[in-house]
Amino acid sequence: MGTGFSTKAVHAGEGKGKPYDAVTMPIVQTSTYAFANTQEILDFVAKKESGESNLRGEYGRYGNPTQTAVEEKVAALEGGERALLFSSGMGAITTVLLAFLNRGDHLVIASSTYRQTRNFVNDHLSRFGIEVTFLKDGEVHKLESSLRPNTKLIFCEVPTNPYLRVIDLAQVSAIARQHGVLTAIDSTFATPVNVRPIEHGIDLVIHSATKYLGGHNDLLAGIVVGSRELLSRLESLRGILGCVGSPHDAYGLLRGMKTLELRVAKQNKTGQKIATFLEAHPRVRVVHYPGLPSHPDYAIATKQMTGFGSVISFEVDGDIHQTSQVIDNLQIPFIGPTLGGVEAIAQQQAVFISRDPVKRASYGISDSLIRYAAGIEDADDLITDLDQALNTITPSGEETE
């Protein structure tokens, strides 16, 4: 197999000589695996106890050949020793937090992480006696002073959702290693096409594979990549919790990742083009996109990333109702809470969070914010559609004719 990214995307984890001489990896649809006799069981147990990897199947909760192919492919793309497939991105995140944090431990986490991750930290980790410090965007200079003797894990996203802040991964890694602290990065928005955190010294890389890796809005999955040692601890807990990915979703991931670089390369170009257009639009107050010089982390992003993705967050020059009007007048994108697929999807996050303005404000999400995730449609068509939708409202302070 070659060393290029797309060659790995197509061939890693699969190779030749598949069952029935199939070109694509089959869906191995089984919940359990039979043994020929007692001696075969004893041999299997002996190999497992010795730590041997890539064992034959035992039970569906512990692994599946289609799943294994996905894990090997993602590990190759991220440059990690091993990967583990989960039933969802949140399944991957929560298992990481539970596997590496114990009662009395301390977690440092970015306050801008996905709100369900924050909800898990606030509502559930606190019940287990785990201490938490939240750092705001742009506060990497406070990271080292936030560490304590009992700090065990630093967790953040790159870029963040929805304001697309970009943290300096090498700086985070250096601080963490100096103090013997593990690092975990949710790299869903970046994908291994745009940044590979392990190359910057990060220990664990997490993806909601539902998004770009799958790429077609038709599956749920999560991935964690890291060293064999760390993932062996994670694998044990995954088997107990049961949040393993299904063989059908694993097959969908194998198919989707073969075009990952092609899709993301186009989405990078489209995202940059849309962000530039929106920044000049009179009905847009501000654009959050790391590929724009106006973004606070532009310097870090250009140093660390090879592309800036398809997600553009922008704030309409209007109130919550005018922003909803823009969403409702878009003709091409679907309205929904996801991203990374071949179809464009837009959402007004405030509406999804709560009808209560106080609760919305507590999450730091502006009522006028739109998160726009471009698909692989023609960029000019998406821009024309955005323009007509924005032009259906009047800027704040102007009268409608």
Q: 103 is written with which tokens?
A: 């009662």
C-alpha to C-alpha distance for 384 and 370, rounded to whole angstroms: 17
Helices (H) and strands (E) in the chain, counts: 16, 12
Helix residue spans in 204-308 (DSSP H): 228-241, 247-257, 260-279, 298-304
Give the closest residue to 335 by CA, choosing from 276, 257, 389.
389
| Cβ-based neighbour number of residue 44 at 10 Å | 17
Q: What does the DSSP assignment read for 125-194?
A: GGGGT-EEEEE-TT-GGGHHHH--TTEEEEEEESS-TTT-----HHHHHHHHHHTT-EEEEE-TTTHHHH
Q: For tokens 């929805």, what's the residue?
A: 162
Q: Hey, which residues are catalytic here?
A: 61, 114, 186, 211
Q: What is the DSSP letter of 60?
A: G
Give the closest residue to 324 by CA, choosing from 354, 351, 284.
351
Report whether 344 contacts 375 (CB < 8 A).
Answer: yes
